[in-house]
Chains A and B, each alone.
Chain A
Amino acid sequence: SAVISQKPSRDICQRGTSLTIQCQVDSQVTMMFWYRQQPGQSLTLIATANQGSEATYESGFVIDKFPISRPNLTFSTLTVSNMSPEDSSIYLCSVAGQEREPQHFGDGTRLSIL
């Protein structure tokens, strides 16, 4: 399966600031997704990153808060904007082929907001 690299692996940020998380895949993939995993919780889909067009967001997530880019078939970014302590989570990138499955995950970015 594809090798998925996320940067940074962890960060501690001040409230009110923004952080951009990168997801790089070692091969071209059709689909890329961003998930959030709050401490001790399950994973929740934030959005589907669409190449060359705006991301598709799930209910409860908005573009102003979580802008996403996907310039090509191997790379995507997620920005967490105007951060507050409630944004402290693990943010995970996943990838899949044209059939949406199976989905494989990176190791995530562990974000703490002070």
Chain B
Amino acid sequence: GENVEQHPSTLSVQEGDSAVIKCTYSDSASNYFPWYKQELGKGPQLIIDIRSNVGEKKDQRIAVTLNKTAKHFSLHITETQPEDSAVYFCAAIGSGGGADGLTFGKGTHLIIQP
């Protein structure tokens, strides 16, 4: 089955700086890669996603890049703000022949220092 590795486990950045979180996946058949933000006491919130036929996607201060050859994808947050502090999870889903659910990375605790 799919295995997703996520780094770093904790990331502390100054407010206004950029943050980058990286993930690798094992199943070359995986074709969908979402990113979730989870705040304390809440469920994961989808913030951006990318499909395997696209190399990069942006939504305001958030961008995701995908390198299919290397089997890794990254989340980029620019001009970080205090409200960006949360746990971020990457995930992957295969193209079929198995579970339709998501395989998650272990999460990154992003801390925005004022």
* Interface residues, chain A, with chain B CB atoms under 8 Å away: 1, 4, 31, 33, 35, 41-45, 48, 56, 58-59, 92, 94, 96, 100-108
Contact = CB atoms under 8 A, between A and B. Distances in A.
Contact of B101 (A1, A4, A45, A104): A45
Q: How large is the interface on B (under 10, 10 to 19, 20 to 34, 35 or more residues)?
A: 20 to 34
Given A101-B93, A102-B49, A104-B46, A41 B99 contact: no
Contacts of B42: 107-108
A43 B99 contact: no
Nearest to A40: B107
B44 interface: yes
Contacts, number: 59
A92 B106 contact: no
Contacts of B93: 100-101
Contacts of A31: 100
B25 interface: no
B32 A101 contact: yes
B73 interface: no
B106 A101 contact: no
Interface of B: 1, 32, 34, 36, 41-46, 49, 89, 93, 99-107
Nearest to A41: B106
A48 B99 contact: yes
A108 B34 CA distance: 19
Contact of B99 (A45, A92, A96, A108): A45
A58 B99 contact: yes
A103 B34 contact: yes
Contacts of A4: 43
Contacts of B41: 107
Given A45-B102, A58-B99, A103 B46 contact: yes
Given A104-B46, A105-B44, 4 more contacts: A42-B105, A45-B101, A102-B49, A107-B43
Contacts of A92: 43-44
